[in-house]
Chain A
Amino acid sequence: MALVEIDKLNISFDGRAAVSDLSLSIEKGESFGIIGESGSGKSLTALAIAGLLPDNAKVSGSIRFEGAPLPGDERAMARLRGRHFGMVFQEPMTALNPLMKIGEQIGEAAELSQSGADIASLIAEVGLLPDHAGRFPHQLSGGQRQRAMIAMALASAPDLLIADEPTSALDTITQALVLDLIAEICARRGMTLLFISHDMRAVAALCTRIGVMRTGQLVETGETQAVLRAPKAEYTRKLVAASRMERRATDRLHGDPLLEVEQVSREYGQGGFWPWGRTTLRAVDKVSLTIAQGECVALVGPSGCGKTTLARMIVGLDNVSAGQMRLDGQAYRGRDLPPLLRAGLSLVFQDPFSSFDPGMTIGQSLAEPLHLLGNLSSAERATRLHDAIMSVGLDPAMLDRYPHEFSGGQRQRLAIARAMVTRPRLVVLDEPVSALDVSVRGEVLNLLARLQAEHGLTFLIISHDLDMVAAMADRVLVMEAGRIVEEGKPADLFAHPQHALTKALMAAQLPDITETSW
């Protein structure tokens, strides 16, 4: 008998279908993965199993757990959920109660399910230290929080573990550790796993059977390898193709140095009311690098290594504590970058949703950097906006619309258009595609490669996505704890990593979806 049986599940909001006619069954002890892009209905399906759908959702169809339909009564459903399901969500910071200690939160789950689980042993099982129980969520790192979340899910000794994008908010190395942990625990406890992700590699590494969802429908189900190696559905084929990064960079000739960073450090004073009690945190530590005209350089490293701090100084959003930078030979220390020179630098942020002011039209947002160029005539401004939006392949009529009217991929294109409007020479891209769906990533990277070729742009890409870096960069710099520890061409560097961090980053790479051996 299947543990979970879903029959013709339909979920809709205000008459709009979010999940339609979905039927699937999850066997006891198996690990089932659902792959899908944002808005595909994969998370809603998981929430429906747990009875956690929003109030305004209209549901039809049936979900059976261990042969019995899910109870309609809220309290009964809550108790069933508490005893039999464990859930791990995407963002461990917001998924934990900020005012309660980790141990108490795990204890609450144990108490509610009356499982009698021992908190100390749960904490040990997920690889946390005993004193982590007494800490608050904000006192843990992202990976530790997700471990705490897993401990909480395990507290009820559940039959089914539902993990909804459990590693998307974590960096590569932490992601690998957390995925290992989930696999190990499921194997040890013989627990059934429902794993939901947009990351095909993560799903392939963890699941024996997968379903692919698109706009609320299950387009394909089957053994992981069968589906990924020989996809039957057109959509799966497209997804598999999109998840392979092909090298876009060509070996271009590079010009003179455009940006020189000379022995730059950035220190922050930390915690101290009394001046003598202060300690300094060195976020960036004597970094030197040179980027030539027309080059694409990638800066990789785990979260907190100082990549973003360095980028902020380069584009003039922050000042160096020591050292200096030169753009086109002109020295600057950060915010003292003169406006005209500043116009030669642009920054594209990771999250295209929060990097636009929701109250401004796209045209207003795009025109903002133009003040750096002094007084432009309105005709000149209009031409600039027109050129910028055309260059990213969008329609100038969109300039009058507001950010919420665009999809993630479109917004990232608009963010790139905003970066292009001053006709910069160096564009700094901070995780330019990590917030985007797999199928859109390729398009945005193609766009970047095209813009670089057409306008002779120089790129500095900050990322921890090694695939993307390998596809785009001419040169890779590896950063750890504020220092650049290794540098080289992507092909050489990734084939023969020297530094421990580069090795760790390589090791944390999830195997290619069709390479996973069973």
Chain B
Amino acid sequence: MLPKRATNAMRHLPPCGGGREGGQPRPGFPVTLFILRRLLTFAATLFVAALIIFILLDLLPGDPARFILGINASEASVAALRTQMGLDAPAHERFFGWIAGMVRGDFGISATQRVAIGGLIAERMAVTLPLTMMAMVLSMLIGLPLGIVAAMRRGKPADTGLMILAQTGIAIPNFWFGMLLTLVFAVALRWLPTGGFTPWHENPGAAFRGLILPGLALALPQASILARVMRTALVDVTGQDFIRTARAKGLTRSEAIWRHGLRNAFLPVLTILGLQFAFLIAGTIIVENVFYLPGLGRLIFTAVSERDLTLVRSATIVLVLAVTATMFITDLLYTLVDPRLRRQNA
């Protein structure tokens, strides 16, 4: 027979829900407050980045006006151009003038191309942004399933093989992948163009096809990293107690991993995904040159070599904006996926 009551502690204490054992009910946390705070951090990051970019480019030796007019220009005409470009003003005025202009959507005029920088960047972003997105999606489509397969078959030949592949993928730089892919799919098989870009409004299909190989070249190293992270995260989660609990409820091991493991394993993967976006954006500078794509990376590359500092400055800040925005979104996603963070972040 079972004893009705092993002890008589219940008489002395309220039932749980209140009192000592109950703990305080934790109120739902104000998500808006968290978003607000992250937005402030976001703005502060952008401001500091702008300041650093401004100072670095301002410190560079050489006079942009002299560079534009050439070595033989007279002192007077150089001075005139300096005034026209606003280079005479004190540094803080120029800095805040630049910031205020950007807030209004006026990024200034490119010294070398003589067009509004805003339009120039927008035009180039129409290439770089889809390229980055495509690389992002491709790296997830390739990396995550491979990581899951490797984790599910841990210690078996499939796992070892995939991880060797991933190791190789990380070691090989993306421009080399670019050249290899071009050789196979463009030169030998003639499935896709070797390079260049048809604008979206002319032929969206051709534009898309033009981004496949560069996207793949960008994606492969990242997919390798993702596969490794996904595998490790899932293997870690598989060993956790709640997977055993799920199996105790009547799930098989793989069912438990699908239902309970994946979502938990996705948390570390999310962190990597946020960081990867920054790497992908930086990677476009090289890949756009390899594939001869008119994107933001190429624009910056040309602007640097032509000493078009106004353009470099504004294009860089747009990249910083893209990366910071991704971090912001990653943080929000984190809070969405993990209820534990909702409280701590408040």
B248 and A173 contact, CB distance less than 8 A: no
> Does A112 have its Cβ within 8 Å of any Cβ on chain B?
yes
A144 and B21 contact, CB distance less than 8 A: yes
Distance A302 CA – B20 CA, assembled complex (angstroms): 8
1/0 contact trace for B72-116 toward A, CB 8 Å? 000000000000000000000000000000000000000000000
**Complex interface residues of chain B between 241 and 276 (CB less than 8 A to chain A):** 241-242, 244-253, 255, 259-260, 263-264
Chain B: interface residue total (CB-CB under 8 A)? 51
A81 and B241 contact, CB distance less than 8 A: no
1/0 contact trace for B162-187 toward A, CB 8 Å? 00000000000000000000000000
Distance A315 CA – B73 CA, assembled complex (angstroms): 75
B244 and A139 contact, CB distance less than 8 A: no
A75 and B7 contact, CB distance less than 8 A: no
A109 and B249 contact, CB distance less than 8 A: yes
1/0 contact trace for A131-165 toward B, CB 8 Å? 11001101111011001010011011000000000
Among A210-218, A238-246, A506-514, the stretch that binds chain B is A506-514
Distance A383 CA – B36 CA, assembled complex (angstroms): 59
B13 and A173 contact, CB distance less than 8 A: yes
Given A112-B251, A176-B9, check contact A98 B15 (CB 8 Å).
no
> Does B201 have its Cβ within 8 Å of any Cβ on chain A?
no
B5 and A184 contact, CB distance less than 8 A: yes
Q: Which residues of B contact A138 (CB under 8 A)?
A: 339-340, 343
> Does B1 have its Cβ within 8 Å of any Cβ on chain A?
yes
Q: Which of A109, A112, A205, A504 contacts B13 (CB 8 A)?
A: A504
**Complex interface residues of chain A between 87 and 130 (CB less than 8 A to chain B):** 87, 89, 91, 94-100, 108-109, 112-113, 127-129
Distance A152 CA – B22 CA, assembled complex (angstroms): 19
B248 and A81 contact, CB distance less than 8 A: yes
A144 and B23 contact, CB distance less than 8 A: yes
Q: Which of B37, B247, B250 contacts A156 (CB 8 A)?
A: B250
Distance A510 CA – B343 CA, assembled complex (angstroms): 37
Q: Which residues of B contact A78 (CB under 8 A)?
A: 247, 250-252, 255
Q: Which residues of B contact A173 (CB under 8 A)?
A: 9, 13, 20-21
Most buried by A among B16, B23, B36, B337: B16
A82 and B250 contact, CB distance less than 8 A: yes
> Does A174 have its Cβ within 8 Å of any Cβ on chain B?
yes
Q: Which residues of B contact A91 (CB under 8 A)?
A: 241
B249 and A152 contact, CB distance less than 8 A: yes
> Does A15 have its Cβ within 8 Å of any Cβ on chain B?
no
Q: Which residues of B contact A153 (CB under 8 A)?
A: 248
B250 and A140 contact, CB distance less than 8 A: no
Given A78-B251, A97-B260, A180-B9, check contact A143 B21 (CB 8 Å).
yes
Instruction: Give the nearest-CB partner of A98 in chain B.
Output: B340
**Complex interface residues of chain A between 303 and 339 (CB less than 8 A to chain B):** none
> Does B8 have its Cβ within 8 Å of any Cβ on chain A?
yes
1/0 contact trace for B315-346 toward A, CB 8 Å? 00000000000000000000001111001001
A54 to chain B minimum Cβ distance, whole angstroms, is: 9
B7 and A179 contact, CB distance less than 8 A: yes
Q: Which residues of B contact A20 (CB under 8 A)?
A: none
Q: Which residues of B contact A341 (CB under 8 A)?
A: none
B7 and A507 contact, CB distance less than 8 A: yes
Q: Which residues of A contact B259 (CB under 8 A)?
A: 108
Given A96-B242, A173-B21, check contact A205 B9 (CB 8 Å).
no
B83 to chain A minimum Cβ distance, whole angstroms, is: 46
Distance A511 CA – B5 CA, assembled complex (angstroms): 12
Interface of A is mostly: helix
> Does A237 have its Cβ within 8 Å of any Cβ on chain B?
no
> Does A491 have its Cβ within 8 Å of any Cβ on chain B?
no
Q: Which of B16, B33, B346 contacts A144 (CB 8 A)?
A: B16
> Does A206 have its Cβ within 8 Å of any Cβ on chain B?
yes
Distance A112 CA – B249 CA, assembled complex (angstroms): 7
B7 and A508 contact, CB distance less than 8 A: yes
**Complex interface residues of chain B between 11 and 65 (CB less than 8 A to chain A):** 11-13, 15-17, 20-23, 25-26, 29, 33-34, 36-37
Distance A52 CA – B245 CA, assembled complex (angstroms): 10
Distance A518 CA – B2 CA, assembled complex (angstroms): 9
Instruction: Give the nearest-CB partner of B27 in chain A.
Output: A271
Distance A273 CA – B344 CA, assembled complex (angstroms): 11
B206 to chain A minimum Cβ distance, whole angstroms, is: 43
A275 to chain B minimum Cβ distance, whole angstroms, is: 13
Q: Which residues of A contact B247 (CB under 8 A)?
A: 52, 78, 81
Instruction: Give the nearest-CB partner of B254 in chain A.
Output: A74
A102 to chain B minimum Cβ distance, whole angstroms, is: 11
Most buried by B among A78, A94, A272: A78
Given A81-B248, A82-B250, A113-B250, check contact A94 B7 (CB 8 Å).
no
Distance A78 CA – B249 CA, assembled complex (angstroms): 8
B7 and A510 contact, CB distance less than 8 A: yes
Q: Which residues of B contact A511 (CB under 8 A)?
A: 7
Distance A128 CA – B10 CA, assembled complex (angstroms): 14
Q: Which residues of B contact A509 (CB under 8 A)?
A: 7
Given A52-B244, A138-B340, A139-B26, check contact A83 B33 (CB 8 Å).
no
Q: Which of A74, A108, A503 contacts B252 (CB 8 A)?
A: A74
Q: Which residues of B contact A360 (CB under 8 A)?
A: none
Distance A179 CA – B264 CA, assembled complex (angstroms): 31
B242 and A208 contact, CB distance less than 8 A: no
Q: Which residues of A contact B6 (CB under 8 A)?
A: 176, 179-180, 183, 205-206, 510
Instruction: Give the nearest-CB partner of B249 in chain A.
Output: A109
Q: Which residues of B contact A273 (CB under 8 A)?
A: 33-34, 36-37, 346
Instruction: Give the nearest-CB partner of B237 in chain A.
Output: A97
> Does B70 have its Cβ within 8 Å of any Cβ on chain A?
no
Q: Which residues of A contact B264 (CB under 8 A)?
A: 97-99
A175 to chain B minimum Cβ distance, whole angstroms, is: 9
A99 and B337 contact, CB distance less than 8 A: yes
Given A99-B264, A136-B339, A183-B4, check contact A52 B21 (CB 8 Å).
no
> Does A340 have its Cβ within 8 Å of any Cβ on chain B?
no
> Does B240 have its Cβ within 8 Å of any Cβ on chain A?
yes
> Does A232 have its Cβ within 8 Å of any Cβ on chain B?
no
> Does B157 have its Cβ within 8 Å of any Cβ on chain A?
no
Distance A503 CA – B7 CA, assembled complex (angstroms): 13
Q: Which residues of A contact B2 (CB under 8 A)?
A: 31, 183, 186-187, 193, 206, 208
Q: Which residues of B contact A81 (CB under 8 A)?
A: 247-250
Q: Which of B26, B248, B253, B346 contacts A50 (CB 8 A)?
A: B248
B interface list, Cβ under 8 A from A: 1-13, 15-17, 20-23, 25-26, 29, 33-34, 36-37, 240-242, 244-253, 255, 259-260, 263-264, 337-340, 343, 346
- Jot down 7 A-B pairs with beta carbons below 8 A, ordered by A: A52-B244, A87-B245, A99-B263, A112-B251, A143-B21, A184-B5, A187-B2
Closest 9 CB pairs of A and B: A82-B250, A141-B23, A176-B9, A205-B6, A112-B250, A87-B248, A94-B241, A508-B9, A143-B21
Beyond the given A89-B241, A97-B260, A99-B337, please list 6 additional residue pairs across the A-B interface where CB-CB is below 8 A.
A89-B245, A97-B245, A97-B246, A176-B10, A179-B6, A273-B34
A interface list, Cβ under 8 A from B: 31, 50, 52, 74-75, 78-79, 81-83, 85-87, 89, 91, 94-100, 108-109, 112-113, 127-129, 131-132, 135-136, 138-141, 143-144, 147, 149, 152-153, 155-156, 173-174, 176-177, 179-180, 183-184, 186-187, 193, 205-206, 208, 271-273, 302, 500, 503-504, 507-511, 516, 518
